Structure 1
């Protein structure tokens, strides 16, 4: 029976790109003068990747992999959506820089969605609407984040969890396959707006409006405990409503694909939401890759065969704002 509000959409191909440089937690222990095993014990991350180039180039690598998986060329795409939290620069949008890296033969439109760690989910929701409306046929969504440049490792709880990475997906019409975004929803609880932020880089704290070393204003800061408490307060009811809107229950899901926020968050999703062994967990080997985190986990679910055509999946995450987002897919 059709679900009210469902939008036909098919994920045609996914791809990821990981930087070559690996930073293990043992190496980070040594760098910080800590007892070996300290960073992994506190963060749950064994290793993370570090990118020395640009987010646009990293995203373009993921995009090419997604196009190859879809059996398509860049000229088959009629929109590029950049869905990242850490762009290379405030202007132009990172989608334009990815566009430059990919060098399409025609002026395909490119624009950004920035909802921090939820950027890919928001872009997927928008893409479903655009394809359903006939506005676009095939859309390339690219998420690439380089968190490593703005971290303060004196605060392991906020910095030791992150890694760099890129992920992309090509989506398009579902035809008669049954693939769809069955439901999607987002909610922002702005009492947590300043629990996770980079204050510099915009007009509020522009270089001529602040004193001191501007590098400090460009550092990422997070109140991890406050973020976690606010998330667990609201996520259960949010998830229940989302599943009800999609017409499915947890037992109907083949995979639960969460944003890889932290080892504590993943453990909570596994136990409190009942995801169990259906939860896709890549966190220990890549860390929290910000907006690239969730599509990287989605790619892993697909390539590992844990999410097959016709299966239902829950995509779920939180991001700065503090915002919660989710989507239920028939893959």
Structure 2
């Protein structure tokens, strides 16, 4: 057990709603920035935790696509929160599961005594990277931000019970944005393929890859961690697509103890897991002493799972 507890959480959701049939998606307007949304979520989390920005020891940015290449998104968020203080700031990126990776990293800093208070900020504006010609992805994504404040817990029964992460590189190009950094920098944009700067996904190939590897990955996690399905109050998976339900069924996760709100919110990329966790906490669906599992898949192909006792 790596001792830590969530003492505050906050979310930010755009007001603009786009409907595709019965499904609802949230998209930011032109005068709202990615950074605005992240800072809004961070300020809400800090207020709920009664923590001042200058009390933060570490800010972890956990977005799939950052605000800009340099500096890191965490530093830009910190700049908006305070110009003083003593915090370090850096980004953690495992695309859609970046929050889970960041929570794993944060718990290790807290356990080691290197930090007392950590802010994790996640969120993406996927709508600004979408290709209208790829209907599957164009109608799937929502924009959102989410943040949590973590502290080392005085209760040894609260914290990260176990975690696992793995990448299958044979599927590295199933989901990608190729342009924008060193592979295709801005100065070559005029001669580059414009599609390289938009989200590109082979949904069928990605799904088949996930179906092949996830059962064994999750079975190994449960065996190694000793966390049984009956121990888990709620599973909070990345809201990847409409295939989420069948995939969770395949993994044997009970329908009454899992979050599946893809139809109402879509794929919020890195904000997906913390946003849904915050909703569950706000609704009282889970609370102190409950074990939750945060999990999901991401580009790479990467899978994450983390068991947290609240």
Q: How much does 1:287 deviate?
A: 1.0
Matched, 1:92 2:87: no
- Give a deviation string over 1:235-257, Cα, whole Å, max 9, x none: 11211222233322111111000
User: For residue 154 of structure 1, what is the aligned residue in structure 2?
Assistant: 133
Matched, 1:46 2:41: no
Q: How much does 1:300 deviate?
A: 1.1
Q: How much does 1:105 deviate?
A: 3.0
Matched, 1:24 2:19: yes
The 1:270/1:277 distance shift into structure 2, 3 A limit, reads: farther
User: For residue 28 of structure 1, what is the aligned residue in structure 2?
Assistant: none
Q: How much does 1:179 deviate?
A: 0.8
RMSD of aligned alpha carbons: 1.7
> What runs of 5+ residues in structure 2 fail to find an aligned partner?
none
For 1:140-289, what aligned pairs fall within 5 Å after superposition? 140-176=119-155, 178-208=157-187, 212=191, 215-270=194-249, 272-289=251-268
- Decide which of 294, 298, 303 is 1:315's aligned counterpart: 294
- Give a deviation string over 1:58-103, Cα, whole Å, max 9, x none: 1111011111222222222111110001212111111111112212
Contact 2:54 2:86 in 1 (8 A): no
The secondary structure found in structure 1 opposite 2:133 is coil
- Decide which of 3, 7, 10 is 2:5's aligned counterpart: 10
Instruction: Give me the whole-angstrom Cα distance separating, in 2, the residues matched to 1:275 and 1:306.
Output: 15
Q: How much does 1:113 deviate?
A: 0.7
- Decide which of 291, 294, 298 is 2:273's aligned counterpart: 294
Instruction: Give me the whole-angstrom Cα distance separating, in 2, the residues matched to 1:104 and 1:269.
Output: 44
User: For residue 61 of structure 1, what is the aligned residue in structure 2?
Assistant: 40
Instruction: Give me the whole-angstrom Cα distance separating, in 1, the residues matched to 2:211 and 2:33.
Output: 34
Contact 1:259 1:293 in 2 (8 A): yes
Q: TM-score, normalised by structure 2?
A: 0.94
Contact 2:126 2:269 in 1 (8 A): yes
Contact 1:77 1:139 in 2 (8 A): yes
Alignment size in residue pairs: 309
Contact 1:49 1:286 in 2 (8 A): no
Matched, 1:127 2:106: yes
Q: How much does 1:104 deviate?
A: 4.5
Contact 1:120 1:292 in 2 (8 A): yes
User: For residue 73 of structure 1, what is the aligned residue in structure 2?
Assistant: 52
Contact 2:10 2:42 in 1 (8 A): yes
Q: More deviation in 170-179 or 184-193?
A: 170-179
User: For residue 111 of structure 1, what is the aligned residue in structure 2?
Assistant: 90
Q: More deviation in 268-277 or 15-24?
A: 268-277
Instruction: Give me the whole-angstrom Cα distance separating, in 2, the residues matched to 1:262 and 1:273.
Output: 18
Q: How much does 1:19 deviate?
A: 1.2
Q: How much does 1:218 deviate?
A: 0.9
> What runs of 5+ residues in structure 1 fail to find an aligned partner?
1-5, 26-36
Instruction: Give me the whole-angstrom Cα distance separating, in 2, the residues matched to 1:309 and 1:116.
Output: 29
User: For residue 32 of structure 1, what is the aligned residue in structure 2?
Assistant: none
